[in-house]
Structure 1
Amino acid sequence: MEEQGSPIWIDGKLVDWADASVHFVSNSFQYGFGVFEGIRAYDGEQGTSIFRLDAHIDRLFKSAKIIGLDIPYTRETIVEACRETVAASGHSQCYLRPVAYIGYGGMGLNYTGCKVSVGIAVWFWGEYLGQGKLEQGTRVKTSSYTRHHINSNMSKAKACGNYMLFQMARTDALRGGYDEALLLDAEGHVAEGSVENVFIVRDGQLITPPLTYILDGITRDSIIQLARGAGLVVREEFFTRDAMYIADEAFFVGTGAEVTPVVALDDRPIGQGVPGPVTRRLQSLYFDAVRGRDERYAHWVTPVAGVPA
């Protein structure tokens, strides 16, 4: 992450990066009660455009509904605010972070009547899993932490507090010399990375865990559509980590990770230990789509042009 000091949109106004603050006595600061999105903007065929903006903002509102947070703006207002914030940043490519949160009060674990705010920050973020990982692939370690059980948390909400688990899992993996963590569910099935959905390739077919207990990833959905559009078979089914050990290929997908090959899990090479041909093909399809180079998916990109900076 490179903080560029771009203006941050908060409750209808762009404020300086250094002035964007939340009160110490804030329910969201104290307890992690809030929801957020991660979105990317790319420099593409129509200039700077935001990838699947409508889908991300729709999920933001769904997350808020799940945890009982009432966002005091329309979806259209937040969509336009995202475009405005990117335009004001001056970045041709960037990462967006919209957050709905309680900026003050609610210390008694009761957020009734607390004012809900929305902020949108923008910064440049390169390869999330490390420079060169898109090309070379990433080394992953199965985490000792278990992905939240379906009844232990609101797994369909992209809620701020949920990410303490993922943060600990990833930090442990990094300290152990790996690039990322893989979390299993309570039954021992492969769930996801710390902030990524996972796919394996077996006999030319893609397999990914079903959405029973994991977040409905927008990049995951994009890859499924791109793969099926290219004639590939995609199956949604549970699998274990030993099935991942003997997969032909594996890769992570997510807004941050984009399409990152997984070349080793628990010090076992996946396939030949290098990014495979199916992964490479999907990388190419994905980057064509996010940059507006594939007319079939032109509706996925929202140009920033026309918004006053």
Structure 2
Amino acid sequence: MQYFNSNTMLYLNGRFEKAAATTTTLYGASLHYGYAVFEGIRAYNTHNGTRIFKAREHFERLKRSAELVHMPFPWDVNDLIKQTYKLLELNNLKDAYIRPLIYCAPNMQLVAAKDVSIMICAWEWEAYLGNEQLQVCISGYERPNPKSTPIQAKVSGNYVNSILATTEAKAKGFDEALLLDGEGNIAEAPGANIFIEKNGRLYTPPLGNILAGITRATVIELCHVLDIEIIEKHLSVTDLKHADSAFFCGTATEIAGIRSVEEYAFPIKWSESIGATLQRTYKCLVLEKQNYEVII
């Protein structure tokens, strides 16, 4: 996939520059040790114009991620939102995926960053896992121990774990992986949270060993609005393989239905599942087809 061309602009430390003309250091902890934090954000072409969905929540999480790994964050969130809208305008993007990244100045020592840069880029990107129901396997890799790294932060180095899990799944002929935590409970997909449906209720793993997904939080909000019972609890693989339906959710993924987990095929048709209802409702929300902001 081509993410930029000779005309693409990105935002770098307060300036807009041609992506093809920018450079970065080869001597930084971000490259050598994965010491960087990032966000994934989506903008949608709504009838009210281009809107970045939950921009403030994403940039506040970026700030929190930086704080959790002891990186400076000298930027104003309001200004970053403003500059991101300008970036979309400069690139003539209306539907876009947006990637802010905070990375380190040259430093090979294993110490907290003192000098950092921020880059924001954007490109057109369809739903990350596609629009078809997914065949999923249980990964041989576990989510990192939350005492070893701040799981609630979007740290670049943490995503080596995600790359390994997805690569393993695809090598086995599956669309995506599902990782467990160190206790054998369901955690999340390499880049998305999971919900399962059983007897008209939704269940999802609690925070602690998973990323506190913004889309996950939105799904929970929508459940409250739609009077869908939602329960956060530890879930086993047995719970999953006795469920009626399941789906992944995330900013890049949006909401993606799961057809099967290894040999177990979910018995409820996706079109008749709670996940499908939430998928339609979520799309209405991000496209501002209904005024959910009044009630959420």
* TM-score band w.r.t. shorter chain: over 0.9
Provide the rounded CA distance (Å) in 2 between the counterparts of 1:91 and 1:186.
Answer: 41
Structure 1 match to 2:106? 105
CA contact (8 A) 1:25 1:105 kept: yes
Provide the rounded CA distance (Å) in 2 between the counterparts of 1:273 and 1:141.
Answer: 20
1:58 aligns with 2:60: yes
Q: TM-score, normalised to structure 2's length?
A: 0.95
Shift of 1:277: 2.5
Shift of 1:86: 1.2
1:214 aligns with 2:216: no
Shift of 1:296: 2.2
Provide the rounded CA distance (Å) in 1 between the counterparts of 2:290 and 2:206.
Answer: 27
Structure 2 match to 1:278? 274
Shift of 1:175: 1.6
User: Structure 1 residue aligned with 2:221, among 204, 220, 225?
Assistant: 225
Structure 2 match to 1:77? 79
Number of corresponding residues: 294
1:171 aligns with 2:171: no
Query: Measured at CA, do residues 141 and 268 of structure 1 come closer, stay the same or move farther in structure 2, by a change above 3 Å?
Result: same
Please state whether the residue corresponding to 1:109 is helix, strand or coil: coil
Query: Measured at CA, do residues 239 and 106 of structure 1 come closer, stay the same or move farther in structure 2, by a change above 3 Å?
Result: same
Query: Measured at CA, do residues 299 and 161 of structure 1 come closer, stay the same or move farther in structure 2, by a change above 3 Å?
Result: farther
The correspondence of residues 81-230 of structure 1 with structure 2, limited to 5 A, is 81-102=83-104, 104-113=105-114, 115-130=115-130, 132-133=131-132, 137-230=133-226
Provide the rounded CA distance (Å) in 2 between the counterparts of 1:242 and 1:7.
Answer: 48
CA contact (8 A) 1:250 1:279 kept: yes
- Alpha-carbon RMSD: 1.6
Q: TM-score, normalised to structure 1's length?
A: 0.91
Please state whether the residue corresponding to 1:120 is helix, strand or coil: strand
CA contact (8 A) 1:173 1:181 kept: yes
Structure 2 match to 1:304? none
Residue identity matched to 1:226: L
Query: Measured at CA, do residues 299 and 118 of structure 1 come closer, stay the same or move farther in structure 2, by a change above 3 Å?
Result: farther
Aligned-residue identity in percent: 32
Shift of 1:109: 1.5
Query: Measured at CA, do residues 202 and 218 of structure 1 come closer, stay the same or move farther in structure 2, by a change above 3 Å?
Result: same
1:294 aligns with 2:296: no
Q: Which has the higher contact order (CA 8 A, sep 6+)?
A: 1
CA contact (8 A) 1:2 1:124 kept: no
CA contact (8 A) 2:71 2:113 kept: no
Provide the rounded CA distance (Å) in 2 between the counterparts of 1:220 and 1:192.
Answer: 11
Unaligned runs of 5+ residues in structure 2 are none
